[in-house]
Amino acid sequence: MRYVSTRGQAAPVGGAEAMIRGLAPDGGLYLPEEIPAFTEAEKSLLRDGSYADAALCVCEKFLPELPREPLRAAVREAYSRFDGPDPAPIARIAEGVGVLELWHGPTCAFKDMALQLFPRVLPLCKAREGETRETWILVATSGDTGKAALEGFRDVPGIHVFVYYPKDGVSEVQRAQMVTQRGGNVRVAAVRGNFDDAQTAVKRALGDGALAARLEGRGVRLSSANSINFGRLLPQIVYYARTALRLSGGELVRFVVPSGNFGNILAGYLAKRMGAPVGELVCASNENRVLADFLATGVYDVRRPFHKTISPSMDILVSSNLERLLFLATDGNAERVRAWMRDLRERGVYAVDSETLARIRADFGAGSCDGEGTRRAMAACWRENGYLLDPHTAVGFAVLRELAPKGPTVLVSTASPFKFAQDVLPAVGAPRADGFAALDALSRATGLPVPTPLAELPGLPVRFREEVASGEIEKAWADLLPGLG
C-alpha cells in the first residue's frame, strides 16, 4: 500500500516509511492512496473479538508489510497497560446515549489509545525499512501529548524522546506527570515562554536542514509524534469501528467528538470510509471555535483571538488534520489543498467551494460552547446522570444536548475528570482546591477513586529540572552527542 502526500509534491512511500518520516517532505500529511475496506469477516472480528485483536486487524489493513507475530505482540503489550479488561469501555448515561471512555491508559487522556501502540509499531517499521539510525522524537506539548509520548516511548530501543513544555503553560498535575517520568531514553525540558514558543522551537529544529545533516552524520534522525504522523491516527480507527459495530443494531451510530487538532474525529471518518456503520460525526469546539465555524460556513479563519480555556487540549487555531479531510473530500485534489494551505499561511484564512463544503457536511456536524456552558454541562451531567465529565468531554456533552435524537449516539470522552480536578470540583458542588489537593477533594466529593497514575504523583522524585530558552532547545542533547555543536 502506497502513502501519498496531501500536497502532491512528494513521492509516494510505503506505510512503514510514512510512519518513520511523520511529515511528507513537501510539508503535506501522508494518507494511504486508497482507504482499505473492511470485509464482513473483519467486521465480525472487530465487533466480537478482543480489543487487541481489533487493533491487530486495523494495523494489518494499513501496514500489511509488517511481520504478523511481532505486530501481534506489540498490540497485546500496548493494550495490557490499561486499567480494566476493556481499554475503551462504553458507559450508558441515558437512553440511546453512551460515553466512550478513552482515558483508562497510563496517562489518563485519550492520547494513550495511540501513543501506547505507535511507539511499539515504529521499531517494526524501522526494522522493515532497514533503518538502523536512532530516532529522536521531538514533542512540543501543552500537556497531554507530552506525557503520553513519554510513557509510550519509554525504554523503547533505538528511540529517544524529548519533550518541551511551556514553563508557564501547563497545570501542576501535568507538569508533575512529565518531570517525574521514568525511563532511560526520555528528556523533559521547560521552554521559557508559552506553548507557541515551545512549538516554534521544535518546528524550527525539525525543519533545520543543517542540523538534520549534522545529526544524520552521527547516526540520528529526527521525527515527530504529533497527530501529523499517520501512525497516531491509525490506532484511533479501532475504537470507532468497534464501537459502531457493537452499538449499531442495523442503524448508523452518531459520534460527538471534543476536537482540537481534528485527529480524533478524523479517525472516525476513516472508520466510516472503511465500511463501519458510523453516522454523523459531530465536531465539538470550545471558545476557539474555528472548526465549528468552518463546518458551518466553509471558511477557515484563524484571524481571531486565542482563548485560554478550561479545556486547554482543545485550545488550538490551526488544526493540522483538517488538511487530510480536505484531501479526502476532494478525491485527492492536492492542487486545491495546496492552494488552501497557501492562503492559510499567507492570509490566515481560506474558503472552500460549495461542493466541497456540501460533501464535508454530508458526514460532519458541528457545535460549540464557551467556558460557562462547559461548567454548566459538567454540573448538569453529574446532577442528571450521576456521571462525572472532564471539561473537554463536557464541551461535547453541551453540544450533544442541542442535537435532535437520531439513533444511537456516542459521546467520545477524552480525559479522566481527575486530570482536570481543579476545574471539575465546582460542578459537584465542592469547595475550591488546587493542584494535588483537588484530586483528593474530588474523590471525597464523588466517591470515585483517584486513578493510580495520578495518585502516586506527589511521591515520585523529580527527574527533570532543565529550563531552556526557545532558541536553544538542543541543549538537552549535549550529553547524548557530545560535541554536537
Closest CA to 407 of 96, 92, 99: 96
- In the residue annotation, 475 being an active-site residue is answered as no
Any alpha helices (H) in 68-191, and if so which ranges?
68-79, 111-115, 118-129, 144-153, 172-179
Told to check if 141 binds ligand PLP by CB under 6 A, we report no
299 in Cβ contact with 357 (< 8 Å) = no
Q: One symbol per residue from 215 to 234: x for binding ligand PLP (CB under 6 A), - otherwise; what is it?
A: ------------x-------
Told to check if 289 binds ligand PLP by CB under 6 A, we report no
Name which position in 177, 313, 422, 446 contacts ligand PLP (CB under 6 A).
313
Told to check if 100 binds ligand PLP by CB under 6 A, we report no
Q: Which of 111, 126, 147, 419 is catalytic?
A: 111
CB of 458 to ligand PLP, least distance (A): 22
- Rounded to an integer, what distance in angstroms lies between the CA atom of residue 224 and that of residue 227? 9
Compute CA 334 distance to the chain's CA centroid, rounded to the nearest angstrom: 24
Told to check if 109 binds ligand PLP by CB under 6 A, we report yes
Closest CA to 116 of 218, 225, 266, 38: 225
CB of 238 to ligand PLP, least distance (A): 15
Told to check if 134 binds ligand PLP by CB under 6 A, we report no
Told to check if 258 binds ligand PLP by CB under 6 A, we report yes
- Rounded to an integer, what distance in angstroms lies between the CA atom of residue 164 and that of residue 369? 30
Q: Which three cell numbers stand for residue 21?
A: 518520516
Considering the complex, state which of residue 135 and residue 145 has its C-beta at the smaller distance from ligand PLP: 145
**What SS3 state is found at 270?**
helix
Considering the complex, state which of residue 248 and residue 285 has its C-beta at the smaller distance from ligand PLP: 285
113 in Cβ contact with 153 (< 8 Å) = no
Closest CA to 410 of 233, 251, 289: 251
- By residue count, the chain amounts to 485
Q: Which three cell numbers stand for residue 328?
A: 479526502
Residues in region 178-197 near ligand PLP by CB under 6 A? none
Considering the complex, state which of residue 125 and residue 389 has its C-beta at the smaller distance from ligand PLP: 389
Q: Which three cell numbers stand for residue 336?
A: 486545491
Told to check if 418 binds ligand PLP by CB under 6 A, we report no
- Rounded to an integer, what distance in angstroms lies between the CA atom of residue 404 and that of residue 372? 22
Compute CA 365 distance to the chain's CA centroid, rounded to the nearest angstrom: 20
CB of 430 to ligand PLP, least distance (A): 21
Name which position in 141, 177, 180, 259 contacts ligand PLP (CB under 6 A).
259
Q: One symbol per residue from 359 to 398: x for binding ligand PLP (CB under 6 A), - otherwise; what is it?
A: ---------------------------------x------
- Rounded to an integer, what distance in angstroms lies between the CA atom of residue 373 and that of residue 417? 17
Of 21-29, 109-117, 125-133, 151-159, which part binds ligand PLP (CB under 6 A)? Answer: 109-117
Would you tell me how many other CB atoms lie within 10 Å of the CB of residue 34? 11
Name which position in 415, 425, 442, 454 contacts ligand PLP (CB under 6 A).
415
CB of 117 to ligand PLP, least distance (A): 15
Considering the complex, state which of residue 109 and residue 411 has its C-beta at the smaller distance from ligand PLP: 109
Told to check if 177 binds ligand PLP by CB under 6 A, we report no
* DSSP H or E segment with residue 137: strand 134-140
Of 116-124, 168-176, 252-260, 452-460, which part binds ligand PLP (CB under 6 A)? Answer: 252-260
Told to check if 262 binds ligand PLP by CB under 6 A, we report yes
Helix 51-62 and helix 230-247: axis angle, to 10°? 130
164 in Cβ contact with 201 (< 8 Å) = yes
Looking at beta carbons, which residue is closest to ligand PLP?
261
CB of 419 to ligand PLP, least distance (A): 7
Where do contacts with ligand PLP occur on this chain (CB under 6 A)? 109-111, 144, 227, 258-264, 313-314, 392, 414-415
Which residues are the active-site residues?
111
